[in-house]
Chains A and B, each alone.
Chain A
Amino acid sequence: MQQNQSILSYKRGRYLKLALWFCALAIVVYIWHEPPVVYIKPYGGTWLGYTLGTIAAALIVWLMWLGIRKRRYASNLGSVQGWTSAHVYLGTSLIIIATLHSAFEFGWNIHTLAYALMITVIVSGFFGIYAYLRYPEMMTGNLAGETLESLLLKISDLDRKCRKLALDLPDEINTIVLKATRAHPRELAVGNSMRRQITAINADCPTRAACDALLRVGGKLNPEQARINGQLLSEMTRKSALTDRVRRDLRYRALMQIWLFFHVPLSFALLAALTAHIVSVFYYW
């Protein structure tokens, strides 16, 4: 079996073909299907409407089952790769199936809410596919053979080195350096909030601020101090470059995760809304 196969091209797009045929069939039947005249126009309550609705609901439950299947390492029911490939394509086909089920009728009600949730989940899934296809490559390029851990350790070393160098420099510089290298949780150079991780810019990055400050104060020092300051500046600049890489790495990691924070909880909200949609239709039959 090919190892580096993407989930999109799994078994030469077996599930892509399945999903396309399925959608085409649904569209053809929808066009061919003439609802009884009393219904005025197609809607979810004709035989085709109920069929499409049942298929869509079953698909949603099955798509969510991926969360269970991927944790069942002992299961032999298809490979997780195959499941994921099918998850992507059949999940996308839901857009067509559910829209045909709705017969393009939308309103401010729980039925359209369930539809909107479904679309949101699918779109967040699209982002997930994009992230999984694009970011690992970019991460590898960014790390360039290093690991996040090794980068952090290097930063740590540089911090210590900088602090040591700054001891011989005036208080002003020492304070700047201390600020930039102190591992106080509130002044984290990288990471912290999800928003910061994703935007990957720290406007108030203390390392960058220290670099600027060191460059500024360089002229006022005596030759010996200037030499140390030069050394300090080069170390600080190295650290700045490292922190930028760490930030980028964290950004990619966050982007690869963040969509799941929408995809998964929203699909559970969708499951609830779908339940309400089905119950409501038959509660007031």
Chain B
Amino acid sequence: MEIQVTNVTVNQRGQAQRDQRRIAGPVFIIGRGTQCQIHLPDPRVALSHARITVTDDGAVIEAEPGRIQINGQATQSARLAVGDRIEVGPYLLQVETAPEGVPLALAVTLVNPLEGTKSEGVNRVAPSENRISKRRLSYLGFGGMLLLTLIAPIAADLLGRVGPTTTFPVAPDAKHGAAVEMTQAVSAKFTESWNPGPLSQSHQPFAADCRACHQIPFKHARDQECVTCHKRIKEHVPAKELTGPQGQAFRETRCAECHRDHKGVGIAPRAQEQCADCHADVESVAANAHSEKVTDFRTDHPEFRLSLLDADKPKLVRRVRQGKQSAAQLVEHSNLKFDHKLHMDPEGVRDPEGKRDPSGVRDAQGRRTVLKCASCHEPDEGGRLMKPIVMEQHCQQCHSLAFEPQVTKRQAPHGSETEVATMLREFYARLVLGDVPPDVNPPPDLRRTRPGAVLTYQDRQAALQIANQKAKAVLYDLFEKRKVCSTCHTVKRTEDEAGWDVAPVRVAQVWMPQAIFTHAKHSTETCETCHDVKGSKESKDIAMPDIKKCRECHVGAKPVSGKVTSDCATCHKFHAGRDYWHAEMQAQMLAPPLSKGKK
């Protein structure tokens, strides 16, 4: 069964042209697909838009809802009759009177040609893509970011090099114009944007001045810049004592290799492993080292070494390690006589200003004071060491230096023998010459000059002679008869003017100078926890605790429950050496500036 399809087009002269074709059925698909029997090549037509089925009863058109309109009415299915106008997208299909033997004749006209509508439609959706291109944004992103994060900070740094560098502390009289200050503030911001992490607290004044430490671009921070401020920093070991390749490497270690800044507030490393690198076998780094092997306080630390003084040899410091074999050497030659046992008597010591002894039988005055450690040993202001014992402050209350108690309450000065002799001669000369102070009750055996007498030269000489003799007698009394001085000191008779010689006294203040010990941090403990003096009757006894005592509380770097974790740095200072850091460099830095006159 064939139907007739007429394509109605308009030629260039505006005349209608009709192309007739016969198409075989019975089912005719209308659509833009080429397989469609009625092919309508237009994008506004669906691939398979509608279907005409021709039977003996006539032709029926069917389509999905909203696809076709027949005579202006949207429809899904309709029986076709001559004169029907079917709208299929932009096409108009008219049912014409069919010739003989043909069941259906359709005239197909493109009513709304595509041309002319196209631009209208496309314009509507053209987004503003052309205005923002990814390429342009990328250039902008790359360039802008490079400018802000790389070029500006480098420019700020290079410009900063032209001007004066920051000095610390900042000079208060540095005055600049507002423009300069603003430029500096902005460039500081750019510079700081490179800062990879917060500086240690003491370095924070330089946060905006990278060159304070980083002098040369693309070169490691040098030691020179460190010692510009840290002038007096000491080398761990003098350079000349370092030996071997490891020693050489140690010598060449830069400050910044251990002191890593930009890591928060701390900059001083506590690196026991680093210490153990050398101290496990210290001879490999310094062949002549005196220290023993040490890697950890708990497991591998030698006995403590005490620095002992000798009062008779002022330059000698004996360093003796604690331990049984050296017990004989562990004595202090201080030239002082002191009996801790006596002074620490729980019943107290005789004291003219002390409390009355309830039994009242121990001594004539019946007054006693119970001494505690703190009565004599006071911590210094820093809380680290003990203040030196001072005769006037700690001893004299009981150990009076009164030279003639019946005459005066005045006491001899606690100083050199000559000073005591001079003082006594002057005191008695004054009395002999008749000038008696109100607090003095002149001794009856002393021949005095009558007040108002006119003295000749001989009279005065005679008076001084009397005074000298008296003074000598009193000195003898002090030094030998009453043994006031020799209670504590070693006293010898000499032929010089003073007549007696008191041996010099040296008492150790710091027993372990290579270790940091802070009494204040140990104030939770009593003195007796570490220092046992109860049985000591002589001053040569040493009451320094040994390593066993410390280990009762302290362990090594590895934590142990209930103990204090302690690494090397807990007690030792790395920079506690003898030489300045890189001595030759330091020599220049510490040299006094040339005076202006000299050139």
Contact = CB atoms under 8 A, between A and B. Distances in A.
A224 B545 CA distance: 120
A194 B132 CA distance: 10
B375 interface: no
Task: Give the interface centre of B125, B132, B272 by most chain A CB atoms within 10 Å.
Answer: B125
Given A110-B153, A194-B128, A265-B140, 13 more contacts: A37-B271, A38-B260, A43-B263, A44-B196, A107-B196, A110-B149, A153-B118, A156-B121, A268-B139, A272-B149, A275-B150, A276-B153, A285-B221
A153 B90 CA distance: 9
Interface in B1-36: none
Interface stretch (B43-51, B163-171, B293-301): B43-51
Nearest to A266: B141
B352 to A, nearest CB: 61
B465 to A, nearest CB: 77
A266 B137 CA distance: 9
Interface in B207-265: 210, 214, 217-221, 257-260, 263-264
A251 B134 CA distance: 19
Contacts of A264: 134, 137-138
Contact of B269 (A40, A192, A273): A40
Interface of A: 36-41, 43-44, 105, 107-111, 113-114, 117, 145-150, 152-157, 159-160, 183, 185, 188-194, 197, 231, 234, 238, 246, 250, 254, 257, 260-261, 264-273, 275-277, 279-285
A265 B137 CA distance: 5
A150 B118 CA distance: 10
B125 A190 contact: yes
B144 A40 contact: no
Given A272-B141, A275-B150, A285-B214, A190 B263 contact: no
A109 B142 contact: no
Interface of B: 42-44, 46-47, 66, 72, 74, 89-90, 112, 114, 117-118, 120-129, 132, 134, 137-146, 149-150, 153-154, 157, 192-198, 210, 214, 217-221, 257-260, 263-264, 266, 269-274
A257 B133 CA distance: 11
A39 B210 CA distance: 20
Contacts of A234: 74
A191 B78 CA distance: 38
Contacts of B117: 153, 156-157, 160
Nearest to A40: B263
A40 B266 CA distance: 9
Contacts of A105: 196-197
* Top 8 A-B pairs, shortest CB-CB distance: A152-B121, A272-B145, A269-B141, A265-B137, A276-B149, A37-B271, A276-B150, A191-B125
Nearest to A283: B217
Contacts of B198: 107
A238 B157 CA distance: 67
Contacts, number: 182
Contacts of B132: 194, 261
A238 B144 CA distance: 49
Contact of A39 (B74, B128, B145, B263): B263
A282 B149 contact: no
Contact of B121 (A109, A155, A261, A280): A155
Contacts of A110: 149, 153, 193-194
A261 B134 contact: yes
Nearest to A277: B149
Tell me which of A152, A238, A260 has the highest count of chain B C-beta atoms within 10 A of its own C-beta.
A152
Contact of B112 (A38, A40, A160): A160
26 contacts: A37-B270, A37-B271, A37-B272, A37-B273, A37-B274, A40-B260, A40-B263, A44-B196, A145-B47, A147-B43, A153-B114, A153-B121, A155-B124, A157-B44, A157-B117, A160-B112, A191-B125, A234-B74, A250-B127, A254-B127, A269-B145, A275-B146, A282-B218, A284-B221, A285-B220, A285-B221
A108 B195 CA distance: 9
Nearest to B191: A284
Given A110-B149, A157-B117, A266-B141, A183 B124 contact: yes
Given A41-B263, A149-B121, A191-B127, A109 B195 contact: yes
A154 B89 contact: yes
B257 A279 contact: no
A208 B403 CA distance: 123
